[in-house]
Structures are given as C-alpha cells and as structure tokens.
C-alpha cells in the first residue's frame, strides 16, 4: 500500500528501494518511542507539485527534534529540496510525505548519537475520508504537558492517539475527541478541533495540543474571510448541540463533524463556517481561484 517495486525512498543520505532501507532491532526509537516525524502533503497545481507549508512543517520537525534531544543533520531548505526530489523520483504530485528521524541502536535512556533520517511519500486519500464524522469524547486524556513536550511531534505520543481511535471505533464511532489534563477539549487523535456557535468559531489555545499547521492556516483563512475566532478553553458539554464542528490536519484537511457523543450539531455542514473554510483550504492548497472553485 505504501510502496511498490518502483518506489524510491531517502534513507541516511541515499536513494534506496524501501526493502533495502533497513535499521537495527536494537534502535532506541523501536523500544522506547523517542523519534520525531512530520506529515506533509503536496498537491497537484497548475505549476506542478506544490508542497503545502513545507517550511512550517520542517521548522516544526526541527523544533520537535531539539525538544527531544535528537540531532537533525539537514537544514529546512535541504529538507525541502529532498522532498521535491523524492516526489520527482516517484512521479508523485498529489502525495503525502513522511519524514522520520529515528534513533540508532541504544538500550539506555540516554540521548543517542547515531540518528537515521528517512523520507518516503505515497498517494494517500484524505485521512478521515470525505463523509461527516460521528465522534465521541474519549476516555483517554491527551498527554500531560509536564510529562512530555506535547507540542513536539514525537513517535511515542501516538500510542495515546491509537488508544483513543481504537476505543472510538470499537464503540461504533468514527473518531475520538480527547480532553486535556484539566478536562477541557484538546484535539482529535491526529487533528485539531474547532466548533461553531452563533457565527463564531472556537478552538482551544496552544499549550496542551500539537500546534497544527492546518490550525494556523484555518486562523489565517478565518481572518481573511472576516470570521470571528475565539481561542479559549471549553468543555465537551459546550460543544454538544452547538451549531457545527470540524477537525483539521494535514492528512485529514478540513473535515466536518455530524455529532459528538451522539448529539447532532444544529446546522447543515454546507451552511457552516467550516464548510466555507474547507472550500478556501482546497483553493489554497491547489492554488486555484476561490470564486471558480467547486468543492470535490
């Protein structure tokens, strides 16, 4: 699914076939979960493949690595160049790009000198699909910001996301909405969260969440469209039965939510601010004129 016989990946400075890009079973990342990564998308535009917010993603990778005491031996501009080369070599335009910095063999809990840098890309549909989602408030809390750097995109944090998504699916929901340590709404398992009430959008402030690049784009677009956004802490109770809601993330893009804990949102998604933002997001990622744009 992620590669075929023609796929080329970048691994420790070399272009390789995925099967030959291998690492050790004694790697610290495999045993203890310390590694950092990114999830990036490129889109087919009139000017060819365009990586959306490449600089922002690679700045975040650098920040994540620094916080986790991981060496990242490539600059942001080198990482962008490798990404475009990767797309070219794999003849991809609409693609998901996954850079991963993992740590070499070491069974101690000390920072590791040897790092592996891997980058691959594949064609991937919108992560949460195109349908409106029915979500539940998770019984799992997002990691405590004093236990780890929640703003770093660290491999090990995703065990929390996997538990929350698995619980939601087992209970018949599409996705989970996780609370922070204080019981306020934080984010989804792999996306940030906004809800709409009386023509205003609400999202939680930074601090207990991954600072999403799509979240920032939503804030920029809301400013452009003169949509009022309030960043504040709120409870799941305030969200249930409000007008509308959506998740946003690089893989998920902007995806509407039909209900939280089986309580439907009041407004038809097509009339919501989220829908309008989703249309503009499509236009921005594809470099198309907003007015002529048909949502696909």
Q: Which of residues 137-156 bind ligand PMP (CB under 6 A)?
A: none
Total Cβ atoms within 10 A of residue 265: 25
Total Cβ atoms within 10 A of residue 284: 18
Place of tokens 């390789």: 16
Six token digits for residue 242: 């409000």
Q: Which stretch binds ligand PMP (CB under 6 A): 92-100, 184-192, 195-203, 229-237?
A: 184-192
Q: Which stretch binds ligand PMP (CB under 6 A): 64-72, 199-207, 212-220, 260-268?
A: 212-220
How many residues sit close enough to ligand PMP to count as binding (CB under 6 A)?
13
Q: Is 256 in the site for ligand PMP (CB under 6 A)?
A: no
CA atoms within 13 A on the CB side of 7: 18
Q: What is the DSSP letter of 105?
A: B
Q: Which residue's CB is nearer to ligand PMP, number 61 or number 267? A: 61
Beta bridge partners of 103: 115
The three-class DSSP label of residue 113 is coil
Is 55 catalytic? The answer is no
Q: Which is the catalytic residue, given 53, 114, 153, 284?
A: 153
CB of 9 to ligand PMP, least distance (A): 20
Six token digits for residue 37: 């990564």
Separation CA 102–CA 87 (nearest Å): 22
Q: Which stretch binds ligand PMP (CB under 6 A): 73-81, 130-138, 189-197, 236-244?
A: 189-197
Q: Which residue's CB is nearer to ligand PMP, number 99 or number 249? A: 249
Question: What does the chain come to in residues?
Answer: 296
CB of 106 to ligand PMP, least distance (A): 26
Q: Which residue's CB is nearer to ligand PMP, number 121 or number 267? A: 121
Work out the end-to-end distance of the chain between its first and last CA atoms, rounded to an integer number of angstroms.
24
Cα 91 to Cα 42, 44, 288, distances in angstroms: 12, 11, 22
Q: Which stretch binds ligand PMP (CB under 6 A): 89-97, 116-124, 186-194, 268-276?
A: 186-194
CB of 212 to ligand PMP, least distance (A): 3
Residue of 211, 161, 209, 150 lying closest to 184 (CA atoms): 209
Burial 214-244 (b: 16+ CB within 10 A, else e): bbebbbebbeeeebebeeebbebeebbebbb
Among 49, 136, 210, 267, binds ligand PMP (CB under 6 A): 210
Task: Give how far the C-alpha of residue 27 lies from the chain's centroid of Cα atoms, to the nearest Å.
Answer: 25
Q: Which residue's CB is nearer to ligand PMP, number 153 or number 197? A: 153
Separation CA 168–CA 160 (nearest Å): 12
Among 102, 154, 192, 242, binds ligand PMP (CB under 6 A): 192
Among 106, 208, 214, 285, binds ligand PMP (CB under 6 A): 214
Among 175, 180, 187, 253, binds ligand PMP (CB under 6 A): 187
Q: Which of residues 221-250 bind ligand PMP (CB under 6 A)?
A: 249-250
Q: Which of residues 30-49 bind ligand PMP (CB under 6 A)?
A: 39
Question: Residues near 19 by Cβ (< 8 Å), separated by ≥ 6?
Answer: none
Query: Annotated active-site positions, please?
Result: 153
Residues that bind ligand PMP (CB under 6 A): 39, 161, 187, 190-192, 210, 212-215, 249-250
């Amino acid at each position: 699914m992620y590669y075929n016989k023609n796929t080329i990946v970048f691994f420790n400075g070399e272009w390789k076939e995925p099967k030959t890009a291998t690492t050790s079973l004694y790697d610290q990342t495999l045993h203890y979960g310390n590694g950092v990564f990114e999830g990036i998308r490129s889109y087919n535009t009139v000017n060819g493949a365009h990586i959306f917010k490449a600089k922002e993603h690679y700045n975040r990778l650098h920040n994540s690595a620094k916080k986790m005491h991981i060496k990242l031996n490539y600059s942001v501009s080198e990482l962008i160049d490798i990404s475009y080369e990767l797309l070219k070599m794999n003849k991809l335009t609409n693609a998901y790009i996954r850079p991963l910095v993992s740590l070499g063999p070491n069974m101690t809990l000390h920072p590791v000198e040897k790092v592996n840098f891997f980058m691959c890309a594949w064609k991937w549909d919108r992560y949460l699909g195109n349908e409106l989602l029915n979500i539940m408030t998770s019984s799992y809390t997002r990691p405590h910001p004093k236990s780890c750097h929640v703003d770093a995109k660290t491999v090990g944090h995703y065990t929390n996301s996997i538990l929350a998504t698995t619980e939601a699916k087992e209970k018949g929901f599409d996705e989970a909405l996780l609370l922070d340590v204080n019981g306020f709404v934080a984010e989804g398992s792999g996306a940030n969260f906004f809800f709409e009430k009386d023509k205003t959008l609400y999202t939680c402030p930074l601090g207990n969440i991954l600072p999403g690049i799509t979240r920032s784009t939503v804030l920029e677009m809301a400013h452009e469209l003169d949509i009022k956004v309030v960043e504040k802490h709120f409870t799941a109770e305030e969200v249930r039965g409000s007008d509308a809601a959506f998740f946003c993330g690089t893989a998920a893009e902007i995806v509407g939510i039909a209900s939280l804990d089986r309580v439907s949102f009041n407004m038809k998604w097509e009339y919501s601010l989220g829908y309008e933002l989703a249309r503009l997001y499509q236009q921005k990622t594809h470099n198309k004129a907003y007015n002529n744009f048909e949502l696909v």
